Amino acid sequence: MSTASIFIGSLFDRSRFSQNAVQNTLLGIYFPFGVFLAIVRAFITLQVFVAAFLLPPMTYIRSICFRILFAVLGFCTQKDESSEERDETAPVIVANHVSKFDCIPFHILTGCISPSVWELPSPLSFILGLSRSKSKPKTNGEMVSFLRSHISESKIPVVLFPEEETTNGRAGLLKFSDWSMTLSDRIQPAVIHAWRPWFVQTNISHLGASWYSDLFWFLLTPWTAFSIRYLPTIERNTDETDEALAKRLQKSIADSLNISVTNYSAKDKREYEKRYLLELNAPTVVRNRPDVSAEVLQKAYQVVQVLPHVPLDIAVKQLLKNHKNVDMTISSILEDPSIAPSASGDSGNNSVNKQKIISKEPQNQNASIFSSSPQSRMTAFQERKAALIAEARQKYIEKHGLKLE
């Protein structure tokens, strides 16, 4: 599967529940028992805190106690039978990211720490031994400095999730962050799977889910099984850049999962998630139209990626008018002054964005706008239009990693 053919929405689940009516019926029957189980487990969680506080880190007894206590809470962890051995000479482990609690299975198996848990409350992460910092670093620079110091002073490994955002693990991997590669020249990739019993089949996470809602469903379901498979350690080649090393690690994990690598970043997910939630709460004009297929909706998202001020329903309407051609749609939107920014957006921000676009244009074009000659004004308009289309087209090509001959 090529990177360009992957729609960003296919990387994430949109709902907690499956589309299977039988599974949802079984879940409804189980739900009252699940709520009772979640309440009981919430009290047991207090004992986990006590054990974490009393037992020293990286001890055999602590590891056994934690494995039992987390199993009672529904976190079942195992090492895949086909896994490579854990390479003790590699101080850094990188893995795909399927839940906000991926660090827990790794911590149970290796006692490692993880900066990803800084999404959780810092005291909680510190008490559980998942982090050695009582406060969250404010920048990536502070994080790198802290982790380098930890690696130089301790044998406890660090596990990183360089996608920086969770995916469903079925379609593709997000682009790996470069800063994760600066910690060590020997990094061991790993693959993590998570699943739940068929009679309470729910997605581990979904767009818009918070860590505490995900935790509630961990406590409510009978168990969530995690399987970890270590892959052969990858060592940095001579003069290899952080970006090149990140791509090699990303490909190694993607090949093991039999999915594709993508150029979508964590920022792209956050932008898509924000837009998705806005559309979810917006009038159902787009979703109720029978002529809007998945293909049209995908192309409409591509249009709004290069023209963020355009509402999705307008993009869909213009696409249908322009034979579902993205380039023609962008062109028609740029020459139509009646298309206004989305009412749900910030008009002030849109004005600023327009001013930024205008400020990037050559000064001679700005001067020609006020030319007394109609021909000069029309020429200036056409030049600005062509420049905007070219810029939008270039952004689209770079966004989707297209290679045009």
Nearest to 298 by CA among 67, 10, 2: 10
The rounded percent of the chain whose pLDDT value lies above 90 is 34
Across 319-342, average pLDDT: 76
Average pLDDT for 210-230: 93
Quick one: pLDDT at residue 346?
Answer: 44
Of 288, 7, 285, 301, the closest CA to residue 171 belongs to 7
Binned at pLDDT 50, 70 and 90, residue 326 comes out as: confident
The per-residue pLDDT for 358 is 41
CB count in 10 Å sphere of residue 183: 18
Q: How confident is the model at residue 339 (pLDDT cuts 50, 70, 90)?
A: low
Q: Across all residues in the chain, what is the average pLDDT?
A: 79
State residue 360's pLDDT score: 45
Residue 228's DSSP bridge partners are 79, 192
The conformational region for residue 99 under phi > 0 = left, psi -120 to 50 = alpha, else beta, is beta
- What's residue 10's pLDDT? 92
Question: How confident is the model over 91-109, as a mean pLDDT?
Answer: 91
Q: Is the pLDDT of residue 332 over 90?
A: no
Q: Which of 222, 192, 190 is nearest to 77 (CA)?
A: 192
pLDDT at 269: 93
Which residues make beta-bridge pairs with 92? 158, 187
Tens of pLDDT, residues 2-45? 454 688 999 999 999 988 889 889 999 999 999 999 999 988 87
Q: Quick one: which of 277, 290, 308 has its CA closest to 206? A: 277
Check residue 372 and give its pLDDT: 53
- pLDDT computed for residue 216 by the predictor: 93
Q: Please state the rounded mean pLDDT for residues 183-193.
A: 95
Q: Are 8 and 181 in contact (CB under 8 A)?
A: no
pLDDT tens digits for 82-96? 888 999 999 999 999
The average pLDDT across 223-228 equals 94
pLDDT digits (tens, 9 = 90+) for 389-402: 777 767 666 665 65
Rounded percentage of the chain residues whose pLDDT exceeds 70: 71
Is residue 321 within 8 A of residue 332, CB to CB? The reply is yes
Q: What is the pLDDT of residue 363?
A: 44
Show the 3-state SS of the chain: CCHHHCCHHHHCCCCCECCCHHHHHHHHHHHHHHHHHHHHHHHHHHHHHHHHHHCCCCCHHHHHHHHHHHHHCCEEEEECCCCCCCCCCCCEEEECCCCCCCHHHHHHHHCCECHHHHHCCHHHHHHCCCCCCCCCCCCHHHHHHHHHHHHHHCCCCEEECCCCCCCCCCCEECCCCCHHHHCCCEEEEEEEEEECCHHHCECCCCCCCCHHHHHHHHHHCCCEEEEEEECCCEECCCCCCHHHHHHHHHHHHHHHHCCEECCCCHHHHHHHHHHHHHHHHCCCCCCCCCCCCHHHHHHHHHHHHHCCCCCHHHHHHHHHHCCCCHHHHHHHHHCCCCCCCCCCCCHHHHHHHHHHHHHCCCHHHHHHHCCCCHHHHHHHHHHHHHHHHHHHHHHHHHHHCCCCC
Q: How far is CA 304 from the centre of its chain?
A: 19
Distance of alpha carbon 322 from alpha carbon 247, whole angstroms: 37
d(C-alpha 273, C-alpha 271), whole Å: 5
What pLDDT band is residue 378 in, cutting at 50, 70 and 90? low
Predicted local confidence at residue 373, as pLDDT = 60
Per-residue tokens: 306: 């290069």
Closest-CA residue to 276 (of 65, 2, 12, 5): 12
Sign of CA dihedral 205, 209, 210, 216: negative
Answer whether 250's CB lies under 8 Å from 261's CB. yes
Cα separation, 286 vs 282, whole angstroms? 10
User: Could you tell me the pTM of the whole model?
Assistant: 0.69
- The residues that bridge with 225 in the sheet, in sequence order, are 76, 195
